[in-house]
């Protein structure tokens, strides 16, 4: 019962914080949602693996090796996907949301739209799976756990814990946007930044734009690599060297049409389209931001 109390208390707080318009509260909401998903998946996956062990469909040594690696979130998600507890698409989005959570927790790349997307996705995910996953295992009762349950219910102003689950649906329905629309907005903003750079800083020359941002992007990579004594701080860089997306107006117009259609696709397909298009656009965006940063630095030197 203590475990259930923790989940319900955490879920109630996550929903409450998600309803707050202040980003700092939404930030905490995503951290709570992500922790709930991680622990529920870990519990469900461990239970499924134990069942396979009992049925002699899994070797005891293999069971121990798999479970011992559940200190890493990605290993839990990978195993849950293998056992078909979650779909391939859900696993991909969960990994994305966990990375976003880490960025928030460590104050690296905080993005309000990404945070909103992850909260909405986790709300839908938990509305679907929470009751199913939380029933796993033997539940023990005590006066202490009952007192805690009563306290949580009073705080949440409910008579039954399942009322907290219904609040997930209320939050989803009250949202002025959808996860698919949020992803479209993120990509549209990247394109807008690229087009503005083309008009204002690249002399309306696409080859000049690609040259500037590519050189800035890889220059920054080499500098950081040297500073970190050869450690590759951005592991995707070598891949981008091979398939850099040289942008032009025709390609951007095509991407805009694709982005518009993803608003009406299911959540898993829209995310895959987002991931593919973001991989093309984000390095260009980063190159532009690095260029602006470099120009500001040079201007400051001139002032001195």
Rounded CA separation 288/300 (Å)? 18
Residues in the chain: 304
The pLDDT of residue 198 is above 60: yes
- In the predicted structure, residue 233 carries a pLDDT above the cut 50: no
The reported pLDDT for the residue numbered 142 is: 73
pLDDT of residue 46: 95
- Report pLDDT digits (tens) over 4-41: 888 999 999 999 999 999 999 999 999 999 999 999 99
In the chain, alpha helices (H): 2-18, 23-54, 60-68, 73-82, 88-105, 112-134, 143-156, 162-174, 179-200, 206-227, 237-242, 249-262, 267-303
**Higher model confidence: residue 139 or residue 159?**
159
The pLDDT of 265-278, averaged and rounded, is: 96
**Site of tokens 């219910």:** 153
- pLDDT of 99 above 60: yes
* pLDDT tens-digit map of 117-145: 999 999 999 999 998 898 755 455 577 77
pLDDT of residue 148: 81
Q: Please give the model's pTM, rounded to 2 decimal places.
A: 0.88
Q: How confident is the model at residue 146 (pLDDT cuts 50, 70, 90)?
A: confident
């Amino acid at each position: 019962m203590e475990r259930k109390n923790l989940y319900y208390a955490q879920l109630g707080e996550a929903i409450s914080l998600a309803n707050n318009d202040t980003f700092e509260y939404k930030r905490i909401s995503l951290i709570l949602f992500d922790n709930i998903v991680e622990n529920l998946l870990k519990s469900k996956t461990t239970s499924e693996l134990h069942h396979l062990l009992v049925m002699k469909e899994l070797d005891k040594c293999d069971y121990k090796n798999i479970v011992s690696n559940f200190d890493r979130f990605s290993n839990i998600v990978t195993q849950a996907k293998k056992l078909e507890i979650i779909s391939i698409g859900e696993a991909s989005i969960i990994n994305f949301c966990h990375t976003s959570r880490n960025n928030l927790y460590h104050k690296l790349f905080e993005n309000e739209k990404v945070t909103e997307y992850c909260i909405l996705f986790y709300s839908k995910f938990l509305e679907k799976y929470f009751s199913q996953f939380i029933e796993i295992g033997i539940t023990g009762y005590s006066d202490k756990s009952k007192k805690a349950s009563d306290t949580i219910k009073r705080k949440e102003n409910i008579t039954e814990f399942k009322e907290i689950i219904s609040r997930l649906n209320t939050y989803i329905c009250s949202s002025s946007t959808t996860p698919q629309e949020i992803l479209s907005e993120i990509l549209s903003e990247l394109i807008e930044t690229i087009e503005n750079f083309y008009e204002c800083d690249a002399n309306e020359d696409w080859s000049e734009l690609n040259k500037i941002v590519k050189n800035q992007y890889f220059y920054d990579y080499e500098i950081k690599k040297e500073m970190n004594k050869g450690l590759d701080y951005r592991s995707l860089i070598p891949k981008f060297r091979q398939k850099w997306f040289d942008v032009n107006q025709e390609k951007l117009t095509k991407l805009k049409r694709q982005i518009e259609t993803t608003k009406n696709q299911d959540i898993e397909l829209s995310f895959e389209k987002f991931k593919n298009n973001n991989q093309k656009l984000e390095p260009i965006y980063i190159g532009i931001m690095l260029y602006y940063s470099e120009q500001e630095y040079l201007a400051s030197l001139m002032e001195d």
